[in-house]
Amino acid sequence: MSKIWNYFTLSGRIAFCKECDYKKDFPPRAPTTTLATHLKSKHPEQHKQFLDQSTEVKAELNAHQKAEVEVNEYLNSKRLQITDDPFKYWSGENSIKWPLLTKLSHRYFSAPATSSESERLFSTAGLVVSNLRTRLLPDNVEKLLFLHNNLKIYDYKYDL
């Protein structure tokens, strides 16, 4: 259960702020993002405590659990608008909330510095598609290249 409920009470489908008269219709399984936004805008000190509590809970979990919590929190959060800057999104408060996802975002939002990765892919394709394998369908070549480049993640040893 989210730590946000330390600052709100739920009566039926209505969430009430414990600090002021704010109330919000809160259907079952609704994300707590609007409640956290209210806390941030109207009660900044409590919002800081809320963020600190979330960080403390994450510190007690193992790596897999931390990753799972971060992904779930991210999926339940408010979506970026098409006009928003992803760099600002992942550099601000969200970089503190989701440090593991922030590292991934920096990796996948950055452009490669050289063309060596694409050159490496073509040289790998040359190894996979030999004179004896010229009748391979393009989909199968793509799958073989994917496996060749991604089995390294699992330290899988194989010979070409």
Q: What is the pTM of this model?
A: 0.38
| 8 Å CB contact between 23 and 16 | yes
Provide the residue ranges of all domains of the chain, joining segments of one domain with +: 1-60, 62-110, 116-154
Q: What is the pLDDT along the chain (160 residues), one digit of tens a residue?
A: 578 888 888 888 888 999 999 998 888 767 778 888 898 899 988 888 888 776 655 566 777 788 888 888 888 888 888 898 888 888 777 777 888 888 888 888 877 677 777 677 777 777 778 777 788 888 988 888 888 777 777 666 666 5
Q: How far is it, in rounded angstroms, from Cα 83 to Cα 7? A: 32
**How do beta strands 8-11 and 23-25 pair?**
unpaired
